[in-house]
Amino acid sequence: MKRRTLLKGGLAALALVGANYTGLSLLGKPGFIDTARADGFTAPLPIPPLLEDLDSRSDSARFIMNAQQGSMDFFPGKPTATLGYNGNFLGPTIRVRNGQRFRVDVNNTLPEVTTLHWHGLHVPAQWDGGPRQPISAGTTWNPDFTIKQEAATLWYHPHAMGLTGEQVYQGLAGFFLIEDEVSDSLDIPKIYGEDDIPLVIQDRRFFSNGQFAYAQNMHDILNGVIGNYLLVNGAMQPRLSVHSGLVRLRLLNGSNSSIYRIGFKDQRTFQVIASDGGFLEQPVAMNSIVLSAGERAEVVIDLSDVELGNQIILTVEQMKGSLFEAMRITVDRPAETTGRLPDHLRTLDKIPESEADGIRGFTMETMSMGGGRMGMGMMGRRLTINGKKMDINRTDEQVRLNSTEIWEITNQGAMMMSMPHSMHLHDVQFQVLSRNGQPPPLHERGRKDTVLIMPGETVRIISRFRDYTGVYMYHCHLLEHEDDGMMGQFEVIS
């Protein structure tokens, strides 16, 4: 795999123990695979199939999902044990419409407990699929609810207590797309798999025997498990052929803990049309976009300047690691239409700050130095929110149904003990009010459910808590942090 190490200003602060994970001593463990592959850009990009809707009525949809064990040949002759939904690795794309009744049978054929969480979905608490809804080995879970949400690129993944990171790492994740009248009527690329391409970007680390090298030690938990191989839809350096003109990419940072800067090798400008929770008001021109673990963005690229037969390269830079040539996009036929992106995508129902019924503060701490005696106490607690670690028997916050709240989230920076965190709320799609007192960048002004918070930063978000009561999670979406307890529960009460 082509990669080079980058030295970036400010990144020193992120390195808790140093960025060179390959230098770890792993007594009794095989070493990591760290060799270049010569066969880049030969494998076609896998497009996750659209999951068959078993309900013939248009106002309802029913699906079957099997969490299962599998195997992948990432390296010739060294099959990797994997997990997938209805397949070996990752899962099919679920596509539903706003207003549809949604039913699914989730069969857990794994030898251990799992859950299935609909990330970004406004969903009744009992069907959220978080740690409170375990699906034990060999059993089936049957969510049944109505989609009450505008068009968006969401995703699904397991969320069992303490097991999220490892199960996602092994392959459990997929896209969950909502469509509505707005997405129907917008003149944007929308042929799934043709010019509307879902791209889940993840990195992985492997042992020399071909198996995934998931978290090995405290360093991996604090820094997150950062991989030296990049996968796009489960393939290393795949290639994709598309028509000329406009092509839409639905980007998902599906990695466990990496923060990615995504762009193109030729630095070309693209238009961001949607954030986590749906369309922006107007396209935002950028030439790279940062997505933390769990975040999504829909972007439209214009390939009309690329000659037939030529290609561009999608690049992905890890915040404290490598720059990958992630995928090659070749133009193999003329555009079917002379598309031009609309200037106005939709009118956003903005949540005015004045609507807030109250403000809550959240402090995310990588490491607190507080109050200790020598030894363990010196280090204080690590990976906490408001000084606490997740306790499924404790409700941390109570929120009134039909209220609107501002949450002020601070990533408490501390010299040499700082990490970026990625705050995610279940149930709601929020709006970012400010970053360090400044208005958020244009591409963060739509609806979001996950937001990157750098050390020392304070991000203020506003959310409406509507429709459903019950207990939901908020947590860091760096999955190693989440599993270590950087998570809390809020209860919406009537």
Which positions lie near Cu ion, rule CB under 5 A? 119, 421, 426, 476, 478, 481
CA 87 – CA 154 distance, rounded (Å):
20
Q: Would you count residue 460 as binding ligand C2O (CB under 6 A)?
A: no
Find out whether 157 and 119 touch, Cβ atoms under 8 Å.
Answer: yes
Find out whether 360 and 59 touch, Cβ atoms under 8 Å.
Answer: no
Give whole-number Cα distances, 191 to 183, 184, 396, in Å: 12, 11, 43
Q: Which of the choices Cu ion, ligand C2O, none does residue 346 contact, using the CB cut-off of 5 to 8 A by kind?
A: none
CA dihedral 105, 106, 109, 113 (to 10 degrees): -140
HSE toward the beta carbon, residue 473, CA cutoff 13 A = 32
Cβ burial 442-472 (10 Å sphere, 16+ → b, else e): ebbbbbbbbbbbbbebbbbbbbbbeebebbb
Residue type at 110 in one-letter notation: L
Strand partners, 82: 70
Q: Which of the choices ligand C2O, Cu ion, none does residue 460 contact, using the CB cut-off of 5 to 8 A by kind?
A: none
Judged by CB, which is closer to ligand C2O: 447, or 477?
477
Judged by CB, which is closer to ligand C2O: 189, or 485?
485
Judged by CB, which is closer to ligand C2O: 84, or 294?
294
Query: Using CB under 6 A, which of 426, 435, 445, 460 touches ligand C2O?
Result: 426
Q: What is the distance in angstroms between the CA of the first residue and the CA of the last residue of the chain? A: 54
DSSP state of 75: S
Range 289-328, binding ligand C2O (CB under 6 A): 294
Q: Would you count residue 205 as binding ligand C2O (CB under 6 A)?
A: no
Judged by CB, which is closer to ligand C2O: 243, or 475?
475
Range 156-175, binding ligand C2O (CB under 6 A): 157, 159
Query: Using CB under 6 A, which of 117, 204, 243, 481 touches ligand C2O?
Result: 117
Range 396-425, binding ligand C2O (CB under 6 A): 424
Range 16-55, binding ligand C2O (CB under 6 A): none
- The mark string for 75-114 relative to ligand C2O (x by CB under 6 A, - otherwise) is ----------------------------------------
Cβ-proximal residue to ligand C2O, closest one: 119
Q: Which of the choices ligand C2O, Cu ion, none does residue 478 contact, using the CB cut-off of 5 to 8 A by kind?
A: Cu ion
Least separation in angstroms between residue 472's CB and ligand C2O is 9
Largest CA distance in the chain: 69
Least separation in angstroms between residue 461's CB and Cu ion is 15
Other beta carbons within 10 angstroms of residue 313's beta carbon come to 17
Judged by CB, which is closer to ligand C2O: 188, or 453?
453
Q: Which of the choices ligand C2O, Cu ion, none does residue 234 contact, using the CB cut-off of 5 to 8 A by kind?
A: none
- Token output for 114: 């799992």
Find out whether 36 and 236 touch, Cβ atoms under 8 Å.
Answer: no
User: Where does residue 25 rank: exposed (0-12), middle (13-18), buried (19+ CB within 10 A)?
Assistant: exposed
**How big is the chain, counted in residues?**
494
Judged by CB, which is closer to Cu ion: 326, or 476?
476
Least separation in angstroms between residue 478's CB and Cu ion is 4
Strand partners, 86: none
Cβ-proximal residue to Cu ion, closest one: 476
The residues near 306 (Cβ < 8 Å, ≥ 6 apart) are: 244, 312, 331
Judged by CB, which is closer to Cu ion: 248, or 421?
421
Least separation in angstroms between residue 54's CB and ligand C2O is 26
- The mark string for 125-144 relative to ligand C2O (x by CB under 6 A, - otherwise) is -----x--------------
Query: Using CB under 6 A, which of 122, 204, 248, 475 touches ligand C2O?
Result: 475
| E strand segments, 246-340 | 246-253, 260-264, 270-275, 278-286, 288-291, 296-302, 311-318, 322-333
Q: Would you count residue 473 as binding ligand C2O (CB under 6 A)?
A: yes
DSSP state of 95: E
- Token output for 187: 């003149």
Q: Which of the choices Cu ion, ligand C2O, none does residue 443 contact, using the CB cut-off of 5 to 8 A by kind?
A: none
Q: Which of the choices ligand C2O, Cu ion, none does residue 157 contact, using the CB cut-off of 5 to 8 A by kind?
A: ligand C2O
Residues binding ligand C2O (CB under 6 A): 117, 119, 130, 157, 159, 294, 424, 426, 473, 475, 477
